[in-house]
């Protein structure tokens, strides 16, 4: 610990955001980091507390506490404070191959577990991480580092999201020949076609892909291995191991009357086409615009927030975001103590923008849709909302029921469904013949990532269900280790 009194002397400070009025005019990243001097002071707030829960990445009460990658947080904080950014980078890259992604989009479970956060605002771990990696890129410290020796074995990685990229990175570093197959027209999975550009600029993703290419990994886009006849023929014969990093891309639907009307879209389809537009790849036929429309977003999670911020930037007329659950409490409850993941009410960037531009928080809780209304041309024109309440049944299970006479009809022009995901798409599991678990994810143990099929492994959202970028990176790393052991024994 460079400065024992750092957390007493310096208040938590994060970088600034561009003003809302300006930032909603485009899809650019809007968060600016602190100056070097200010950021090193933030590093000094770390107490190097002896038992660094921040880097533990353990599961408590079903949720992660601390960094799933076991980033060496007190060490890089100390080096940041001392101004030794090269060594700080060295420590950061020991556990995290892509800190430029996590430094931007990670919800930072490390900060919930930071010891300083027991009675002060947490150390700015995520921003410290981003500062170190952005500094390294700006000063050309990040260079391709191909393996010294090549092995003769070939590995196919299916899916190029953070799990596929992380697994490919480590397998390539071991010296294997790695081919990555991606069904979309761009590499990156949800880093590219899920998370909006203002949270993660696609140039940042492309920059990393170019390094991976220079390190020797081959990428193939528009290559759905379960459909493309050439790939179908060779995928089982030409590779010594296959990694399914295909994500958990099956969206949860809302099967109520009127669902088939026009103007109701899944969130990721909407977000994807918008990013394709930002990247000049979208034809006007596919683009879904909320301009001058009354928008209803169903789902109060992060994907819903991304839809909110995107429809604001497209120039929507009005916004409502509904969520079936209760709002989270303002402060930690007694049954959610430190160092557990902090389950408290948040105003995220999208809500912050809506509050400023529309004068109110767009969220409504304990609310669901009972029916969609449509006109003669089958366009959605309204939604019948209901209020629900939550109760424990005789067996102690949490259930919800409609509150009588709570119906309300609202006018809508477009509906975005952001209600989570239901695991692996059926055609992927059936093509590879892999078993699924009871949550519809590919069944593979966390120890060895092996599926029921010889030489086929699974990692990331495809294995654990829709999760976080940091977990996808972690699973890619661990799956690569397991594949290396498997191939060494052959």
Ligand X SMILES: Cc1cc2nc3c(=O)[nH]c(=O)nc-3n(C[C@H](O)[C@H](O)[C@H](O)COP(=O)(O)OP(=O)(O)OC[C@H]3O[C@@H](n4cnc5c(N)ncnc54)[C@H](O)[C@@H]3O)c2cc1C
Binding site for ligand X (CB under 6 A): 105-106, 158-164, 181-184, 189-190, 194-195, 199, 224-226, 245-247, 249, 268, 271, 302-303, 306, 428, 460-462, 466-470, 472
CB of 326 to ligand X, least distance (A): 23
Closer CB to ligand X, 141 or 220, in the complex = 220
Closer CB to ligand X, 81 or 98, in the complex = 98
Residue 114 is encoded by which pair of tokens? 């930071």
| 3-class DSSP state of 212 | helix
Closer CB to ligand X, 189 or 300, in the complex = 189
CB atoms within 10 A of CB 369: 22
CB atoms within 10 A of CB 307: 28
CB of 103 to ligand SF4, least distance (A): 7
CB of 228 to ligand X, least distance (A): 8
DSSP 374-418: E-TT-BEEEEEEEEEEEEE-TTS-EEEEEPTT--EEEE-SEEEE-
Q: From ligand SF4, ligand X, none, which one binds at residue 104 (CB under 5 to 8 Å depending on kind)?
A: none
Which of 397, 318, 328 shows the shortest CA–CA distance to 366?
Answer: 328
CB of 459 to ligand SF4, least distance (A): 17
Residue with tokens 């790939």: 231
CB of 228 to ligand SF4, least distance (A): 34
Q: From ligand X, ligand SF4, none, which one binds at residue 164 (CB under 5 to 8 Å depending on kind)?
A: ligand X
CB of 80 to ligand SF4, least distance (A): 13
Q: From ligand SF4, ligand X, none, which one binds at residue 160 (CB under 5 to 8 Å depending on kind)?
A: ligand X
Q: Which DSSP letter does residue 366 get?
A: S
CB atoms within 10 A of CB 68: 26
CB of 108 to ligand X, least distance (A): 9
Q: From ligand SF4, ligand X, none, which one binds at residue 79 (CB under 5 to 8 Å depending on kind)?
A: none
Sheet with strand 414-417: strands edge to edge: 264-266, 414-417, 294-298, 318-322, 363-364
Closer CB to ligand SF4, 126 or 455, in the complex = 126
Closer CB to ligand SF4, 15 or 175, in the complex = 15
Closer CB to ligand SF4, 71 or 441, in the complex = 71
Closer CB to ligand X, 307 or 383, in the complex = 307
Q: From ligand X, ligand SF4, none, which one binds at residue 299 (CB under 5 to 8 Å depending on kind)?
A: none
CB of 288 to ligand SF4, least distance (A): 31
Residue 175, classified by CB atoms within 10 Å of its CB into exposed (0-12), middle (13-18) or buried (19+), is middle
Closer CB to ligand SF4, 34 or 69, in the complex = 69
CB of 395 to ligand SF4, least distance (A): 36
Residue 323 is encoded by which pair of tokens? 């969520």
Beta bridge partners of 321: 297, 363
Which of 400, 289, 418, 410 shows the shortest CA–CA distance to 348?
Answer: 418
Q: From ligand SF4, ligand X, none, which one binds at residue 69 (CB under 5 to 8 Å depending on kind)?
A: ligand SF4
Closer CB to ligand X, 75 or 461, in the complex = 461
Q: From ligand X, ligand SF4, none, which one binds at residue 125 (CB under 5 to 8 Å depending on kind)?
A: ligand SF4
CA within 13 Å, CB half, 116: 25
CB of 396 to ligand X, least distance (A): 31
| 3-class DSSP state of 438 | coil
DSSP 119-181: TSPPP-HHHHHHHHHHHHHHTT-------SS--S-EEEEE--SHHHHHHHHHHHHHT-EEEEE
Q: Is the dihedral of CA 438, 444, 445, 446 positive or negative?
A: negative
CA distance 370 to 401: 12
Cβ–Cβ under 8 Å, residues 153 and 175: no
Q: Which DSSP letter does residue 50 get?
A: S
Q: From ligand X, ligand SF4, none, which one binds at residue 296 (CB under 5 to 8 Å depending on kind)?
A: none
Closer CB to ligand SF4, 100 or 413, in the complex = 100
Summarize as ranges the residues that interact with ligand SF4 (CB under 6 A). Answer: 67, 69, 71, 73, 102, 106, 108-110, 125-126, 129, 470
Q: From ligand SF4, ligand X, none, which one binds at residue 477 (CB under 5 to 8 Å depending on kind)?
A: none
CA distance 437 to 63: 19
Q: From ligand SF4, ligand X, none, which one binds at residue 273 (CB under 5 to 8 Å depending on kind)?
A: none
């Amino acid at each position: 610990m460079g400065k024992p009194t750092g957390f007493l002397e310096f208040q938590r400070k994060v970088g600034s955001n561009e003003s809302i009025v300006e930032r909603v005019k485009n899809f650019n990243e809007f968060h600016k980091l602190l100056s070097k001097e200010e950021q090193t002071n933030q590093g000094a707030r770390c107490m190097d507390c002896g038992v660094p829960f921040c880097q533990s990445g353990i599961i408590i009460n079903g949720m992660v506490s601390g960094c799933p990658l076991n980033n060496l947080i007190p060490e890089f904080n100390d080096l940041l404070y001392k101004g030794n950014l090269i060594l700080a980078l060295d420590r950061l890259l020991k556990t995290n191959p892509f800190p430029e992604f996590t430094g931007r989009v990670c919800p930072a479970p490390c900060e919930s577990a930071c010891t300083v956060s027991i009675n002060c605002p947490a150390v700015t771990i995520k921003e410290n991480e981003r500062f170190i990696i952005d500094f390294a890129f700006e000063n050309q410290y990040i260079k391709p580092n191909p393996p010294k020796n090549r092995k003769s074995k070939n590995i196919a990685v299916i899916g190029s999201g953070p799990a596929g990229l992380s697994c490919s990175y480590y397998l390539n570093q071991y010296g294997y020949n790695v081919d990555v197959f991606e069904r979309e027209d761009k590499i990156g999975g949800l880093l590219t076609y899920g998370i909006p550009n203002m949270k993660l600029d696609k140039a940042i993703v492309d920059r990393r892909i170019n390094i991976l290419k220079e390190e020797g990994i081959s990428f193939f886009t528009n290559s759905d291995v379960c459909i493309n006849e050439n790939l179908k023929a060779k995928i089982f014969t030409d590779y010594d191991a296959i990694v399914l990093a295909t994500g958990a891309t099956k969206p949860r639907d809302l099967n109520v009357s009127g669902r088939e009307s026009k103007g109701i879209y899944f969130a990721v389809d909407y977000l994807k086409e918008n990013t394709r537009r930002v990247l000049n790849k979208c034809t006007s036929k596919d683009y879904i615009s909320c301009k001058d429309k009354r928008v209803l977003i169903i789902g109060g999670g992060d994907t819903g927030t991304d839809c909110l911020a995107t429809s604001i930037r497209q120039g929507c007329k009005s916004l409502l975001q509904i969520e079936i659950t209760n709002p989270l409490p303002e402060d930690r409850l007694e049954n959610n103590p430190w160092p557990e993941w902090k389950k408290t009410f948040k105003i995220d960037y999208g809500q912050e923008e809506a509050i400023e531009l529309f004068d109110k928080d767009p969220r409504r809780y304990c609310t669901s849709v009972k029916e969609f209304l449509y006109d003669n041309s089958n366009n959605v024109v309204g939604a019948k909302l209901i209020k629900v309440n939550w109760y424990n049944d005789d067996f102690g299970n949490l259930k919800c029921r409609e509150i009588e006479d709570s119906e309300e009809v609202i006018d809508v022009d477009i509906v975005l469904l952001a209600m989570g995901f239901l695991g692996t798409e059926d055609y992927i599991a059936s093509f590879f013949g892999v078993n699924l678990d009871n949550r519809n994810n590919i069944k593979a143990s966390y120890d060895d990532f092996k599926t029921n099929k010889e030489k086929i492994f699974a990692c990331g959202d495809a294995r654990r269900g829709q999760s976080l970028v940091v977990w996808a990176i972690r699973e890619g790393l661990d799956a690569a280790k397991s594949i290396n052991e498997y191939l060494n024994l052959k």
